[in-house]
Amino acid sequence: MASISDLVKTTLKAGYLTVEAEDQLRKLLAIEYNLEDLNAFVSLQEAAMTGQVKQESRERLLKSSTEKRFVPYSSCYAGIKQC
C-alpha cells in the first residue's frame, strides 16, 4: 500500500481525488503515520477546499442530490401531490 505522501502527490498532480484513493487515505490515516504524511494530508485538504483538487465522492453526491430534486412540474402541480 502506498504512503499518504505518495497518494497526495499523485492526487495533487492529477488534480482529482478518486473514491478509491480516498478510501486508501482513510485506511492509512487509521494506522500509524509520520509528520510528513500528516503535512501532505493537510496540503491535500487545503487543495480540495480551494478547488485545486476535485473530489469524485463530492461530484457523485452532488449528482445524486440533483437527480433526486428534479421533479417535473406536472407531477407536482400546486402542492396537490407531495414532491
pLDDT at residue 31, as a whole number: 93
Evaluate whether 56 touches 19 at the Cβ level (below 8 Å): yes
Instruction: Give this prediction's pTM.
Output: 0.73
DSSP 28: H
d(CA 37, CA 9): 11
**Amino acid identity, position 61:** L
Residue 10 CB neighbour total at 10 angstroms: 14
d(CA 67, CA 23): 25
Evaluate whether 45 touches 76 at the Cβ level (below 8 Å): no
State pLDDT tens for residues 53-63.
999 999 999 88
pLDDT at residue 81, as a whole number: 52
